[in-house]
Every structure is written in C-alpha cells, then in structure tokens.
Amino acid sequence: MIVDNYRQRGLRNKLVKKLREKGIKDEAVLAAIGRVPRHVFFDDALLIHAYEDKAFPIGEGQTISQPYTVAFQTERLEIKPGDRVLEIGTGSGYQAAILLELGAQVYTIEYNQKLYARTRDFLPTLGYKPFFLSGDGSKGYPAKAPYDKIIVTAGAPVIPDALVSQLKDPGKLIVPVGNLEKQAMYLVTKKNGKTETETFDHFAFVPLLGEQGWKK
Ligand code: SAH
C-alpha cells in the first residue's frame, strides 16, 4: 500500500520551495515535483531523507538523483506534452515519472538488469507507464529514433555521438560530461541543421557505462 498523506505532501511543498529558491523557475517542472511521491522510491530505512535535496542509494550501487539535478535537467529540456523523450539510466524511475507528469512519451533505458526489472515492475503500480528498455543506452535506442529530447542521467566521458544523431531537428540533449568525480552539464540544441552546446557547472553523477561510456 502506498501512503501519501498530508505530511508527505507538506514535505514535498517545502522541497518545491527550496528548488524555487535555488533558481528553478519552470512552474510545470515544479508542479511535477510537487506531485510525484518521491518517498515511495526509498527503502524504509532511508524514508526520512526522501524530501531532502540530496541524491540517495537505490541499491545495485546506483542512486536516485538529487531533486535539484532532476529539476535542472528537466527545465533545460523545455518538455512539451507529446514530446518523445529518451532517458538513459532509468534507475529508480523517479526522473521518468517527472517526464510523464509533463505529458511526455518516455522511452527509458537501463543497463543494470536487476534495476531494469525492479523499476519495470514497480513504476506502473504508481500509474507511470514509460516504455522500459534494457541495454546499453550510451548508444541510444535507434529503433525508436528520432527523439525530441534526450536526457542522460549518468556521467559520460564525452558527448555520445549516437545520441546527437538520434535527436530530431529541432531537439535538445542534456548530458553530464566530465571525469568520474565531477561533470559539467552539456545542453546540445539541434536547430536548422546546426548544433549548439551550452555548459553549466557542476554536477556529480554515477558513471555512464557501455560503449560510449566508461569501461568497467
Ligand atoms: N534517472 C535515475 C537516476 C539513475 S542513476 C532516477 O531518476 O533514479 C544512473 C543510472 O544509469 C543507473 O541506474 C545506472 O545503472 C544507469 N546506467 C549507467 N550506464 C548506463 C548505460 N550505458 N545505459 C543505460 N543505463 C545506464
């Protein structure tokens, strides 16, 4: 049974307020964070931390991203209802839930088999139904390309070219790029046959593995 009572809603409103103070402006993104029950993505022992603006372990050595990071990446993508979005790194499914709340059609790919299976079975119980894919998302997912938006939620050593080529024109890709400790956020915008890149400091993600990621 999923419990989402006034207490959790109150904590969520506080989190939304904090994200606003930290500079998140997109009201649709803030409203989505206000709706998705983040605490149900947490193990019981970590429940009290669910509405802190921090990343937390979700098992398999992976993390649920910090709410500010989720909000920042989502805001930069300017999601519109009906956008076809590819997410690399399903993890807990929290980011996918936010994208679905914004009306996107979401394809989400996870490399870790156990996490893939766990989230594929769990997320739809909350009413969130992206297309779940398993495999190496550093190569994108050509079968359903092109995408309006692509979001990478693991830190890459370089911008994976496969992802740029699977982006629609116009389209936007957001990907953290750097070393294993720290990454800058790269926003790649494709428009009129050209691509432009903007960067934003500083973020810390778990590593993107696979062909265009870090080698194990
Ligand atoms: N978006 C997630 C955050 C996940 S952390 C959430 O909201 O909870 C990053 C995830 O990327 C991890 O689950 C990791 O297993 C996955 N990952 C790493 N390399 C990958 C790859 N090449 N393809 C797909 N997923 C990958």
Q: Give per-residue pLDDT as tens, 71-91.
A: 999 999 999 999 999 999 999
Kindly state whether residue 172 falls inside one of the protein's structural domains. Answer: yes
Full DSSP string of 130-187: -EEEES-GGG--GGG--EEEEEE-SBBSS--HHHHHTEEEEEEEEEEEE-SS-EEEEE
To the query of whether residue 138 is one of the catalytic residues in this protein, the response is: no
Kindly state whether residue 81 falls inside one of the protein's structural domains. Answer: yes
What domain range includes position 83? 6-203
If DSSP codes are grouped into helix, strand and coil, which group holds residue 71? helix
Number of domains the chain is built from:
1
Kindly state whether residue 135 falls inside one of the protein's structural domains. Answer: yes
Q: Whose CA is nearest to atom 14 of ligand 1?
A: 89
Kindly state whether residue 22 falls inside one of the protein's structural domains. Answer: yes
- Cis ω for the linkage preceding 157 (within 30 of 0): no
Is the pLDDT at 216 greater than 70, yes or no?
Answer: no
Entry pTM: 0.97
Residue that has been written with the tokens 């399903």 in this structure: 90
pLDDT in tens, 149-189: 999 999 999 999 999 999 999 999 999 999 999 999 999 99
**CATH number of domain containing 12:** 3.40.50.150
Kindly state whether residue 190 falls inside one of the protein's structural domains. Answer: yes
Kindly state whether residue 208 falls inside one of the protein's structural domains. Answer: no
Determine whether the shortest distance from the Cβ of 136 to ligand 1 is under 6 A: yes
Kindly state whether residue 43 falls inside one of the protein's structural domains. Answer: yes
Ligand 1 centroid to 192 CA: how many Å? 31
